[in-house]
Amino acid sequence: MKSLFFPRIFSLKHLYSTPLKTLMASSLTQDHPPPDLDNLLSSFPQQQQTEDDTPLSLPEMTASCCLDTPGRYLSGESRVERAWSHWAKLGRPKFIVAPMVDNSELPFRMLCRKYGAQAAYTPMLHSRIFNEDDKYRNQEFTTCQEDRPLFVQFCANDPDTLLEAARRVEPYCDYVDINLGCPQRIARRGNYGAFLMDNLPLVKSLVEKLSHNLHVPVACKIRVFQKVEDTINYARMLEEAGCSLLAVHGRTRDEKDGKKFRADWNAIKAVKNAVKIPVLANGNIRHMDDVQNCLEETGVDGVLSAESLLENPALFAGFRTAGWITGDEESKFDEKLDQTDLFVEYLKLCEKYPVPWRIIRSHVHKMLGDWFRIHPHIREDLNAQARLTFEFLYNIVDQLRELHVRIPLYLKDVKVHTQVAEVSASGASN
């Protein structure tokens, strides 16, 4: 009965009590994701909250949309049909929260969903550590019933390890996604992410392993090669191996800086035209006009946004930051919301769905960065706190509001906004 009165947050603690293998700190830091995560994996700093460990009964936790049969029994054509019927069952989501280590965690996903996101990826999870370390598993993967459609992303370079990790999450998600795009040094050292582009037979075996054995479909998130023909061949190979949903980040492995390099939508369009499964575009999505243009120009089935959503989690509801409004457009926009409002909503979600403080800290800087530029003393105060509390963070918001700074998010007038939504909703078809 107790679970009825608790937030419906799932942690895997109670389902998988695999004995924790002792992990050497060095091995943890050697082959795990982006730089920030080095810290994460060697220690779990500043964890002050206790996770809600109230177990939910198994029937409550069972996914509603697992497929019946693993893909090994299906021909190529049936797999494509199944990919589309699954996509349709999920409501053909178009506006999607991209995977972000330390940033696309449950409270942030729920905030974005409230403001228009129709699906979301988890942050990348390291498949081997996910299997071996129950502390990592319980802290890094949390979800709840409302957190759907959900795409759980892993990095991996061993098919069996990946399958073991994927099986742990398949009841709680709509796709298991393989990260084939991480370009960071740590991914090079660990031999995963975009560095698997040098070993396509291994990539093929990862995708086949999942598609032959899982009940949920397999998704892949890739970067493009320099030559478009190589990207097309890559995408076709993934489709052939059983990938049911392909997200294409239109930058190469060497184009790490998203602000410096524009994503190549032509390459994404070429992939969309070359494969039969649903394709998502990633890169250059800063506001809803970008969404509309990308859907029209590439013909893709949906878009992912990452960096811009961090600053403006209400992006998919049509809100935009002042930087994306030109002077003569100003009259078309209403000021309905500001980032402090969103930040307060985010904090409330963190109280409901606990996450490590390092994640909350990261979001404070992203959501309130513009405010801190005007009042750097508040940022300095924040940085000086070795341990955060919700009281301190709510107090920051009060201080900013008392200083009467206005940094609104703008919503285009309803007529224009509705047109955008209509075009986006009718977007591309298969």
Ligand X SMILES: Cc1cc2nc3c(=O)[nH]c(=O)nc-3n(C[C@H](O)[C@H](O)[C@H](O)COP(=O)(O)O)c2cc1C
Q: Which residues bind ligand X (CB under 6 A)?
A: 98-101, 103, 123-124, 153, 179, 181-182, 221, 249, 258, 282-283, 285, 305-308
Query: Exposed e or buried b for every residue in 308-328, given b needs 16+ CB within 10 A?
Result: bbbbbbbbbbbbbbeebeeee
Residue nearer to ligand X on the CB measure, 56 or 231: 231
Work out how close the CB of 99 gets to ligand X at its nearest, in angstroms, rounded to a whole number: 4
**3-state DSSP helix/strand/coil percent for the chain, to nearest 5?**
50, 15, 35
Catalytic one of 173, 182, 220, 350: 182
Residue nearer to ligand X on the CB measure, 304 or 347: 304
Residue nearer to ligand X on the CB measure, 32 or 82: 32
Residue nearer to ligand X on the CB measure, 173 or 285: 285
Q: How far apart are CA 131 and CA 16, in angstroms?
A: 9
- Distant-in-sequence, close-in-space partners of 166: CB < 8 Å, separation ≥ 6: 127, 152, 154, 176, 210, 214
Work out how close the CB of 221 gets to ligand X at its nearest, in angstroms, rounded to a whole number: 5
Residue nearer to ligand X on the CB measure, 190 or 283: 283
Residue nearer to ligand X on the CB measure, 97 or 337: 97
Is 66 annotated in the active site?
A: no
Work out how close the CB of 247 gets to ligand X at its nearest, in angstroms, rounded to a whole number: 8
Work out how close the CB of 287 gets to ligand X at its nearest, in angstroms, rounded to a whole number: 11
Task: Provide the token pair at 68.
Answer: 């019946």
Residue 343 C-alpha from the chain's centroid:
19
Pairing relationship of beta strands 408-412 and 319-320 according to DSSP bridges: antiparallel
Work out how close the CB of 101 gets to ligand X at its nearest, in angstroms, rounded to a whole number: 4
- Distant-in-sequence, close-in-space partners of 272: CB < 8 Å, separation ≥ 6: 279, 281, 298, 299, 300, 428
Work out how close the CB of 404 gets to ligand X at its nearest, in angstroms, rounded to a whole number: 31
Evaluate the CA torsion angle 135, 126, 276, 98 in order and state its sign: positive
Alpha helices in 242-306 (DSSP H): 265-274, 288-298
Torsion angle of the four alpha carbons 68, 73, 76, 79, in this order, in degrees rounded to the nearest 10: 0
Task: Provide the token pair at 38.
Answer: 């080095």
8 Å CB contact between 33 and 41: no
Q: Which residue is nearest to ligand X (CB)?
A: 124
Name residue, tokens 């409230």: 114
Work out how close the CB of 427 gets to ligand X at its nearest, in angstroms, rounded to a whole number: 18
Q: How far apart are CA 66 and CA 54, in angstroms?
A: 24
**Which SS3 state, helix, strand or coil, does residue 166 take?**
helix
Residue nearer to ligand X on the CB measure, 188 or 401: 188
Q: Identity (one letter) of the amino acid at 199?
A: N
Report the phi/psi class of residue 392: left, alpha or beta, with left for phi > 0 and alpha for psi in -120 to 50. Answer: alpha
Active site amino acids: 182
